[in-house]
Amino acid sequence: KAGVTQTPRYLIKTRGQQVTLSCSPISGHRSVSWYQQTPGQGLQFLFEYFSETQRNKGNFPGRFSGRQFSNSRSEMNVSTLELGDSALYLCASSFSPPSVDYGYTFGSGTRLTVV
């Protein structure tokens, strides 16, 4: 059974650019959550998607957005990149909401560096 797949694995972008990260959940999992991990703030919840709808969103500016497709794959987008957006972005899949009750499986993450 394939795990959670995140692409790309590494990414380098310039300030002001935008970036799109992709996450394919485990087959059969329909809920996808995104987390940002930085040395200063640690792991922080970005948002959760189910049935192509955003269910919850963490305390992040509007530059951070996402979407989910009918096959449950999800993308997150960060526009107008800032140096502080450099982080490891982790995707987690769950069978269904409430995701906490079903448990999460995390991917290996996308490491974004903004220069």
Site for another protein in 48-67 (CB under 8 A): 48, 55-56, 58
**Residue 90 in the binding site for another protein (CB under 8 A):** yes
User: Taking CA 42 as the corner, what is the angle to CA 80 and CA 56, rounded to the nearest 5 degrees?
Assistant: 65
Rounded CA gap, 30 and 23, in Å? 12
Closest separation between CB of residue 16 and another protein, Å? 26
**Residue 43 in the binding site for another protein (CB under 8 A):** yes
Closest separation between CB of residue 61 and another protein, Å? 17
Residues in contact with another protein, total (CB under 8 A)?
26
* Chain centroid offset of residue 93 CA: 10
Query: Which residues contact residue 48 at a Cβ distance below 8 angstroms, ignoring those fewer than 6 apart?
Result: 31, 32, 33, 34, 54, 55, 56, 57, 97, 99
Contact positions toward another protein, by CB under 8 A? 33, 35, 42-45, 48, 55-56, 58, 88, 90, 92, 97-101, 103-109, 111
